[in-house]
Each structure stands twice: as structure tokens, then as C-alpha cells.
Amino acid sequence: MKTQKALILPCLLIILGMFSGCVSGIEQASSQASTETEGATDLEGTAPQSYPLPQENRKARSTSLWGVASTVSDGYFYGREYLRYYDAQSGRTMILCSQPGCPHNDSTCQAWLGNASMMVEYKGILYYVLSDDAGERLCAKDLSSGEITELDGWKHTEDFFYQCALGVCAYDHITVSLRKVPNDIRNPQGEEPDVTFLYDLKTGEKRELPREKEGESISVLAMNQEYALAQYARYVGDDPQSDVFYDDYALRLYRISDGSYTTVSTEEENGYHPTGDPSKTYGNVVVFQEKDTLCLYDLDKLEKRELLTMDNIINYLILDGKVFFITEEGPMGTPEQAVGVYYADLETGKPMRLENGGNTQVMEMGLGWEGDSFFAVTWKSGRYIIPKADFYLDNYEAAKPGGF
């Protein structure tokens, strides 16, 4: 299927001055960090160095929750039926359609997607899952031409329906997880384990990742041209008496060419402790925890190293060339509950404590993902965009609602 060859996005900078009928203005967030608010800084009143988002190992996200950062400009794409773009510098959001009077409600719209459930942008192409009554399809929308190409598809049957999820996109590959679910809800035993494969975006070739044990789930965290680093876990079932759904976690390095793998870390032998946060990867570097130590795995060097050790780490993630983590300083769920919020540079591993808005109970502003100049965050029960410098300096009032 190939449609919509009208030029939509020859250049995002040009588009910012076009489509005036489809642009709604949003107040621009300040790009200047306040020096009046004290925070955890390398130099007094100065935020630490920030970095553009790496081009490889882009994370796909649900269209109902977040947007996906652009690889060609400082902003992000979002939308379910039609595609929109938020520019972080101008603070404007726009529908990527130049047709005057277009209602943006069918395939004649230049911004049309259909019913997109997940998406990721990579090298100027938007890859997304199109879900409808017929089945699930992996599609690619060329942002320079607007052309949509169907790359693969899985049709529902009378007995089963499919659920498709995208993972990471890197080095012209994307990871795809496919679940086959019985239509008869009275027969949950008919559900088959997820199949996770690497999809070659140039050739269409698919390589299924192997499992060591039956029923294991696989989550690819990062990949390069030769290897994929994946987290494996064993599904233990929906026990109403337990809040544990997976155990026996392991981190494995998978060789793409022949399907072999080596084990990097396991729950049993190394004290591997997973995080529920989706931001585990920064370019070709993955963060993980072993007991009280935060570790990094570098896919370029095929090397594991320890970053820092601290008592009672309860959550961690990696963004902006830094590892962020939370420590328990008072028992959770008690009147004495207290946390500390820190970040550490990937090279030095030196922990720096954040002011956290003065909140000692929970992380005041939750980090979601990042663009070149901003963090996407949850705050005051809403979703916001904040310049990175303002986040570090505890200048939370600089946060804006973005295009959501």
C-alpha cells in the first residue's frame, strides 16, 4: 500500500512558517535556566552539561501516552489518527497537513495515519503499528513525502487476534513483539507466548530471538550492527495473591548473525535487579542494577562496568548522558517514608542530589523521556515539557504542557 505522495515535511523548519491554518500556538518555554533556584549543580547556579538525544536505539512509545522525539529537529511527533508535531524552540504544535480546510479525518489528509497504536521516528521515517478490525500492520510514513508503506502484517482469524508492539529502532532494524491471543476469553490457556524478532528495515528479513526456557519474555534494550542486548524474564502467571508476575531475570547479549548468546547478568548469580522504567538505554549504553550497584553495558566496547554503589536504590533510568536514581531513606508506606533523588554522569559516576522541589516523600517531577533540549515529564497529575537546564536547577515553573 502506497499513498499520499504530496510533500508534507521537506524540512521542519520550513513547516514552522507554513500551515498557518493548522497550527495552534503554545507559549514558549524559557530556554534560560534560573540562577536563583538552588539545585544539585556542578558549579553554583549552573546546570550540568546536557546532550542531544543519540540517533540510535530510539524507543517506540504508545500513542495514547507520549510522543516520540524527532531525529531531525528539536521536538516530537504524536497522534493516533493523524500526525502532529511539537516544536520545542517555538513552543508551537501543528498538524502535518498543508491542505486548506482539511478535516483530518480520512486517508485524503496528508497527516493521516489510521489507528496508530505505537510509533517511533528514525532517520526521517515514522514507523508505527496500524491496528484495525482486520489485524495489525507495521507501517512506515516517509516524513519528506508523506508516503505510507505497509512493511508487514498479521491478520486476525475467527479463533485468534494479534497484538503487535514495537521496541527499539537502531542500525536499520526495529524490534517487534507479536502476541497471538484467543478470541475465546474462556480459554486463556490458548494464548501463545510473545514472539520477539528483529526486523530488517532495508530487506524485510526477520530474525526471531531464541528463548532458553519456555514461556520467557524478551525485551530488547539496545542493539548495534552485530549484537542485541536483551532482558529475559520468566512469566509466573496472574496469581491474585501476589504482585509478582515475572521472575528469573537475566541480561543476555545476543549475536544477530547466528542466534548465539552470552549471559551478562542474572538475578540468581549477580543480584540483577530490573527497573520498571522504560528509559534503560542511552544510545549504545544500557544501565542495570546488581544488588546495590548500578552498572553500565557498552555495546560498542562489549564491556560491562560498575558506575556507582549506594544503599537502598529503588529505581533508576538513563537520560541525557546521566543515570538518574531514587534511594529509599525512610521505609516506604510508613509515616517515615522518605526518598533521595540523584543523577550521576556516565563517566565519573559521581552522585549529585537534586532538590526535587523540596519533596522528601516521592520524586516530585517524574522523568519520562527526552528530546535534544527538553525532558518530557509528569508533574501535578499532568504531562509537561521542561528545558533540561531548568529541571536540574529545580526551576519547575518553567514546565509547559507541550502539545498534549
Question: How large is the average pLDDT for residues 216-230?
Answer: 93
pLDDT of residue 239: 58
Q: Which three cell numbers stand for residue 226?
A: 552485530
pLDDT for 172 beyond 70: yes
What confidence tens digit (pLDDT) does each residue in 195-205 have? 899 999 999 99
Query: Which band of pLDDT confidence, cut at 50, 70 and 90, is reported for residue 246?
Result: low
Chain centroid to Cα 269, Å, comes to 29
User: Is 33 a residue whose pLDDT tops 70?
Assistant: no
Would you state the cell numbers that stand for residue 28, as one nine-digit string? 514558549
Q: What number is the average pLDDT over the span 372-385?
A: 94
Burial class of residue 101 in the structure, from the number of CB atoms within 10 Å of its CB (0-12 exposed, 13-18 middle, 19+ buried): exposed
pLDDT at residue 259 in the model: 86
Q: In the predicted model, is pLDDT for residue 43 greater than 80?
A: no
Name every residue whose Cβ is closer than 8 Å to that of residue 84 and which is 6 or more positions away in sequence: 77, 78, 93, 94, 95, 96, 111, 403
pLDDT of residue 243: 55
Q: What is the 3-state secondary structure (H, E, C) of the chain?
A: CEECCCCCCCCHHHHCCCCHHHEEECCCCCCCCCCCCCCCCCECCECCCCCCCCCCCEECEECCCCCEECCCCCEEEECCCECEEEECCCCEEEECCCCCCCCCCCCCCCCECCCEEEEEEECCEEEEEEEECCEEEEEEEECCCCCEEEEEEEECCCCEEEEEEEEEEECCEEEEEEEEEECCCCCHHHCCCCEEEEEECCCCCEEECCCCCCCEEEEEEEECCCEEEEEEEEECCCCCCCCCCEEEEEEEEEECCCCCEEEEEEHHHHCEECCCCCCCEECCEEEEEECCEEEEEECCCCEEEEEEECCCEEEEEEECCEEEEEEEEECCCCCCCEEEEEEEECCCCCEEECCHHHCCCCCCCEEEEECCCEEEEEECCEEEEEEHHHHHCCCHHHCECCCC
Neighbours of 35 (CB within 10 A): 13
**Mean pLDDT of all residues in 102-124:** 93
The answer, yes or no, to whether residue 163 has pLDDT greater than 70, is yes
Enumerate the β-bridge partners of residue 330. 338
Local confidence band at 40 (pLDDT 50, 70, 90 cut-offs): very low
Q: Which of 10-19, 141-150, 221-230 has the highest average model confidence (pLDDT)? A: 221-230
312 has pLDDT over 70? yes
Is residue 123 scored above 70 in pLDDT?
yes
Whether 7 shows a pLDDT value over 90: the answer reads no
Cβ atoms 109, 60 nearer than 8 A:
no
Query: Going edge to edge, which strands form the sheet with 116-122?
Result: 2-3, 148-155, 135-142, 125-132, 116-122, 61-62
Q: Examine the pLDDT at 185 and tell me if it is beyond 90.
A: no
**Band of pLDDT at residue 244, cut at 50, 70 and 90:** low
Q: Is the pLDDT of residue 273 over 80?
A: yes
Amino acid residing at 333 = G
Give the per-residue pLDDT at 346: 96
Beta-carbon count within 10 A of 107 CB: 12
In whole numbers, what is the pLDDT of the chain averaged over residues?
Answer: 85
> Is 236's pLDDT higher than 70?
no
Does the pLDDT value for residue 305 go beyond 90? yes
pLDDT value, residue 194: 82
Q: What would the mean pLDDT of 5-28 be, rounded to a whole number? A: 37
d(CA 57, CA 54): 8
Q: What pLDDT, on the 0 to 100 scale, is given for residue 212?
A: 76
**pLDDT number for residue 191:** 59
- Which residue has cell 487476534? 161
Average pLDDT rounded to a whole number, residues 114-135: 94
Instruction: Round to whole Å and give the CA distance between 339 and 328.
Output: 5
Confidence of residue 41 (pLDDT cuts 50, 70, 90): very low
pLDDT of residue 228: 96
Percent of the chain scoring above 90 in pLDDT: 66
Q: What are phi and psi of 23, to 5 degrees?
A: -110, 130
pLDDT at 44: 55
pLDDT band at 237 (very low <50, low <70, confident <90, very high): low
Residue 392 has pLDDT above 60, yes or no: yes
- What integer is the mean pLDDT of 347-355? 96
What's the pLDDT tens digit per position in 45-71?
A: 789 999 999 999 999 999 988 899 999
Q: What is the mean pLDDT of residues 289-311?
A: 97
